[in-house]
Amino acid sequence: MSRPLTLLLVRHGQSEWNAAGLLQGQTADVPLTELGHAQAARAARELAGLRPGALISSDLRRAVQTAEHCVRATGLAVSTTPALREQGYGVLEGRPSRELWDVVDWTDPHWAAEGGESLAELHGRVAAFLEHLCAEPPADVVGLVTHGDTIRAAQAVAGGLGPDAMPAVTPHNGTVTRLEICR
């Protein structure tokens, strides 16, 4: 039996849109706040203590800025990929999250906003990425800097669950979630 691949999923620090209560999705150029940089630095120190051998990040700015803290703490180079992006919310991105509770069907994994991505599509994207990572792991322990819904999708995939059974709780900004997936 081969050893499991350990994933250390780092959720980006607080962004300006997190602070403002706006739905971000895949909006590319949303920077971290001062608090977000502090959260990212703390998460990077925690990540460094877990000794990853490789570092991969979402290509969205808030994740890349968090990954820069991880690079400084670990000494690793980082590669980016759109496969680790947040769920896309299309036309809803930039709107206040509190306005969307009556618009979004959070219970239907196949629902998507116009121009967006359903939870089922997010789950499929993350599953394909993790399958590729398992087939060609860059290290036994890999740090992934990403987003809340993407982490929930990875947790579901690792647990053999579908998009209708993704965990309900999103990890807080600037936290590290450990997952083991078989290879």
Q: Which of 68, 86, 93, 117 is catalytic?
A: 86
Q: Region 129-140: what's the mean pLDDT?
A: 95
**Topology (CATH) of 5-177:** Rossmann fold (3.40.50)
Is the pLDDT at 149 greater than 70, yes or no? yes
What pLDDT digit, counting tens, does each position of 17-48 carry? 999 999 999 999 999 999 999 999 999 999 99
Structural element, H or E, at residue 44: helix 34-49
Is the pLDDT at 97 greater than 70, yes or no? yes
Q: Is-contact 110 87, C-beta < 8 A?
A: no
pLDDT of 113 reads 93
Q: Which of 12, 69, 123, 147 is catalytic?
A: 12
Known catalytic residue at 37: no
Alpha-carbon gap, residue 143 to 59, rounded angstroms: 14
Is the pLDDT at 1 greater than 50, yes or no? no
Is the pLDDT at 83 greater than 70, yes or no? yes
Known catalytic residue at 136: no
Structural element, H or E, at residue 81: strand 78-81
